[in-house]
Amino acid sequence: MSRIRLLSESTVNRIAAGEVIERPAAATKELVENALDAGATRIVVCLDGGGIDRLEVTDNGIGMSEEELALCVLRHATSKLTDEMLVRITTLGFRGEALPSIGAAARLQITSRSRDADHACVISVEGGHVSAVAPSGGSAGTRVVVRDLFFATPARRKFLKSPRIEAEHAEAVVRRLAMSAPHVAFRLELDGRVVFEARVQERAERVAALLGPEAAAVMLPVNEERGGLRISGYLCSPAVTRATPVAQTLIVNGRPVADPVLRIAVKVAYRDVITFGRHAIVALYLDVPPDELDVNVHPAKTELRFRDTAAIRSLVIGSVRRALGVGTGQVVPMTSFGASSAPSFASWNRPGRPSYPAPPMSLSPGGVLAGGALTGGGGVSGAFHHGNLAEAQLPFLAGPSARQFTALAPSPDYPLGAPVAQVLDTYIIAVASDGSLVLVDQHAAHERLTHEAIREQMLTGPVRSQPLLLPAVVDLPSGDVARLVARADDLARLGLELEEFGAGAILVRALPAVLGASEPGPLLRDLADEFADMDEETVLSARLDAVIARMACHGSIRAGRKLGQAEMSALLRQMEDTPRAATCSHGRPTVLKLSKADIEKMFGRR
């Protein structure tokens, strides 16, 4: 007896189905792509139970005849390929696997009517068993209903996530496809609730509608052509970023993709203008000659292979940089200092160290700046412990005294030295006792101080919260609202008290006291992105530092904020007493130190 045997056709189909249909979002993608290939101008997608219980896609495309309906559920039967060379693929689908794969793993029903037919026809497939085509009622176009996804392959079904998470993935797929086809009207319903509806629009309108008002207000156009390649679309200003690449839509020949070559090119193009750890918001459309592109790399068709990868990368990086206005400027080369150049703070945590000498000032009982001056006879070191440098406690100091004053005598007890001036309202210049020049990024530094303050409070008990005088209402996509509400108890331990406020909004009742008067909107969007990267089963403690880092970033003094002498001195002193203060929460250096030798080298004196 041979140990090698042929698998049954039903087993082969179920194995193949697992490659094409990984989850409800994959089935949604295949069905919507079929509708687009059929010339639809309106597509309605409805999901129940995250698409596991029921998924329905209805379009007004060209429809299918009775004979075509019988063929469409057979494996490798397709109307998309004009030849079998696979070198000029101009449609989204072409493999002829989607419908038979869905039919092998679920209960599939297709009702279709061509535009010249007098009635519709229906066919059903259940776990790979195909019924006969029968007459039916229905309008021109196609309606596909999928029920009990993976009932025939329970091994795959048990690995699905919760209905909410599966619905979020499906929603993301539909939004990307809607971004790729602004000439088509889209409607998405989840459990009977309309999530979004987009009419036929110009590309700019569709991009603005799907990216949201915050991103739409700072969109920059891209439109270049080189050597038969064309790139167009829109970028968001570097001032508006996200915590993850979730808001990056990359479309090649009308096909939304998640291609690593394109993602890295976007990252490189933004590298000099965006904060480390943040991700740009883009909607880029790349047109490539079909014979210069291989889309037959993976059954899901989300990965590509370019014939000239270098040309694609160069076009993306160059066009994005030019759109951002940073592409060709001549820059005088300077010595580069990385995080390793920052001084070590390990020996700085010395209890009982005297307060750094400061000009006469008074300190209010809460350690808050009063009347433009600090108060308290004991100096500023103790007064600003545990994050009291929140922005609400650092008022503007008017006049030149905010940045220029007589430097204090540097002391060897304070490695960051005495503050001398503030440059570009962002960087603090100080002089150490050995004459070294110290540069501090005020936002990055205070971000770390806030991070450590929240973390210390979290380890010793709940983070202290500050109720808002008037609760703030923040409008968010329904998926973000669901993620935040699901983690409401965990966020309450971090001092952030919120609750759902309707279908697409969050009501914020309190913020962590250490954040001061922060704007809750950007903070909630970043936290929602952070939670989107977590599995539903992931406990907050496993990603606590990442969540705290997002909060700290939004509660820190900003670049461009004018600081007075007392404020700068307080910031330096607290950095010396704070662990991990050499880098911010995102890994960027907070302080650079230039020794005499470094400065002489820069000026060519040695």
Give residue-wise pLDDT tens across range 291-319.
888 876 666 666 778 889 999 999 999 99
Residues 56 and 120 reside in one and the same domain: yes
269 and 416 share one domain: no
pLDDT at 83: 56
What was the pLDDT predicted at 560? 72
Supply the pLDDT for residue 169: 93
In a domain, 124, yes or no: yes
Model confidence at 401: pLDDT above 70:
no
Q: Is residue 88 part of a domain?
A: yes
pLDDT, position 46: 97
User: What DSSP character marks residue 394?
Assistant: S
pLDDT digits 0-9 by tens, 317-376: 999 988 886 432 322 222 333 333 333 333 333 334 333 333 332 222 222 232 232 222
Whether residue 207 sits in one domain with residue 150: no
User: Beta partners for 145?
Assistant: 56, 109
Q: Which of 554, 570, 589 represents a domain boundary (last residue)?
A: 554
Domain harbouring 358, CATH code: 3.30.1540.20
Shared domain for 37 and 168, answered yes or no, is yes
Q: Give residue 354's identity as a one-letter amino acid code.
A: P
**Cβ atoms of 320 and 269 closer than 8 Å:** yes
Which residues, 6 or more positions from 376, have their beta carbon under 8 angstroms from its beta carbon?
Answer: 361, 362, 363, 367, 383
Residue 193 has pLDDT above 90, yes or no: yes
- pLDDT score, position 15: 67
**Per-residue CA distances from 538 to 50, 112, 533, 544, 545 (Å):** 20, 43, 10, 11, 14
Domain with residue 107: its CATH number is 3.30.565.10
Give the range among 255-269, 311-325, 518-532 with minimum mean pLDDT.
518-532
Q: What is the mean pLDDT of residues 178-207?
A: 95
User: Considering the domain boundaries, does residue 396 fall inside one?
Assistant: yes
Judge if 163 and 277 occupy the same domain: no
Cβ–Cβ under 8 Å, residues 534 and 543: yes
Question: Do residue 271 and residue 364 come from a single domain?
Answer: no
Q: What is the pLDDT of residue 86?
A: 55
Q: Give φ, ψ of 67 to 5 degrees.
A: -65, -40
pLDDT digits (tens, 9 = 90+) for 422-437: 988 889 999 988 888 9
Residue 3 inside a domain? The answer is: no
In a domain? residue 2: no
Do 150 and 281 sit in the same domain of this protein?
A: no
pLDDT at 179 over 80: yes
Read off the tokens for 22.
Answer: 């990984």
Q: CATH no. for residue 238?
A: 3.30.230.10
Residues 432 and 571 in one domain: yes
For residue 251, name the pLDDT band (cuts at 50, 70, 90).
very high
- Under the banding of pLDDT at 50, 70 and 90, the label for residue 17 is low
Q: Mean pLDDT highest for which of 123-132, 210-219, 521-530?
A: 123-132
- The total of structural domains in the chain comes to 4
The pLDDT of residue 424 = 87
What letter represents residue 338's amino acid?
Answer: G
- Residue 228 forms part of a structural domain: yes
CA angle at 557 for the pair 551 and 558, rounded to the nearest 5°: 100
Integer Cα distance of 154 and 151 in angstroms: 6
Q: Does 456 fall in a domain?
A: no
Q: In this structure, are residues 24 and 166 in contact, taking their beta carbons and an 8 Å threshold?
A: yes
Q: What is the pLDDT of residue 349?
A: 37
> 10 Å Cβ neighbour count for 544?
17
Instruction: Give the lowest-confidence range in 93-107, 383-397, 464-478, 527-541.
Output: 383-397
- Measure the CA–CA gap between 325 and 168, rounded to whole angstroms: 35
pLDDT for residue 523 = 84
Do 586 and 505 share a structural domain? Answer: no
Is 80 exceeded by the pLDDT of residue 383?
Answer: no
- Whether residue 16 is found in the same domain as residue 101: yes
pLDDT in tens, 71-87: 888 877 776 555 554 55
Question: What is the token pair recorded at 101?
Answer: 């794969």
At residue 65, the pLDDT reads: 92
Residue 1 covered by a domain: no
93, amino acid identity: G
Quick one: 389 and 510 in the same domain? no
- Statement to judge: residues 348 and 488 lie in one domain: no
Backbone phi and psi for residue 160, each to the nearest 5 degrees, phi listed first: -70, 155
Per-residue confidence (pLDDT) for residue 583, from 0 to 100: 73
Instruction: Identify the domain boundary among 168, 198, 228.
Output: 198
Q: Of 159, 183, 198, which residue sits at a domain end?
A: 198
Of 497, 552, 485, give the one whose Cα is nearest residue 523.
Answer: 552
What domain range is 288 assigned to? 203-324
Render the burial of 9-44: b for 16+ CB within 10 Å, e for the rest: eeeebbebbbebbbbbbbbbbbbbbbbbbbebebbb
Q: In what order do the strands lie in the sheet with 591-594?
A: 418-423, 427-431, 437-441, 591-594
Confidence of residue 499 (pLDDT cuts 50, 70, 90): very high
Percent of the chain beyond pLDDT 70?
A: 76
**What pLDDT does 88 receive?**
62
Give the CATH number of the domain where residue 539 resides: 3.30.1370.100
